[in-house]
Amino acid sequence: MSSTRTQSDRAPQLRQAIDLTGYYPEVVADGVTAAVGGEQVVSFFVHHEPTFEHDEVRRHLSVLVLTPTRLVLAHTDEHPGDDLLPEPYTSTSTEAVRLDAVKSVVVTRMIANPSEGPSRAAEAVLTIGWGGVSRVDLEPAGCSDPQCEADHGYTGVLSSDDFSLRVSAAADGSDAVGSLLAFAEALSARTHVA
């Protein structure tokens, strides 16, 4: 669920979207509100994702918020209880990233039957990189000589993929895919270099 209008604060719509998930809305909203820190909500996306672990269903909620100066990410998970906290509990983690620190906004759209022309995306993946987490994929380097047995060291790719979210029409509904794309567009518009 998303909005990209910048004329007004979208905080009430964000709160409504959190409430609609039915997933501990007071707890989630408290964490998100604290992380937003009173800034205007320009755009947002709320994604509720149940996960299956053995015979239990656990829920995960991601909330992405765009303010005039920051990208705020909040993740809330539920836990059945453990040695430290025997009662069921939630954990909410938030991260606020300055917009000028965002290095990449990668959007992948999957369109069914492309020969029929443009249509609504069946699936979308948003990957945002700001350098907080980097991944190195290494493989042995080689040369063009098939008989060569020398050690050429390694070659690799350094990828910045601090956050990635996949939404599909089949699992989340076509409105969710459109909302993720709208959020990505709003974020891209605010992170471009003039």
pLDDT tens-digit readout, 42-78: 999 999 987 777 777 778 999 999 999 999 999 999 8
Which two three-digit tokens encode residue 183?
Answer: 């959020």
pLDDT at 4: 44
**Sequential DSSP letters for 53-94:** ETTEEEEEEEEEEE-SSEEEEEEEEEE---SS--S-EEEEEE
Whether the CB-CB separation of 121 and 177 falls below 8 Å is answered with yes
pLDDT tens track for 25-34? 999 999 999 9
Residue-by-residue DSSP string for 145-174: -TT------EEEEEEE-SEEEEEEHHHH-H
Could you give phi then psi for residue 68, rounded to 5 degrees? -60, -25
Cα separation, 63 vs 41, in Å, equals: 12
Mean pLDDT value across residues 168-193? 92
pTM of the model: 0.80
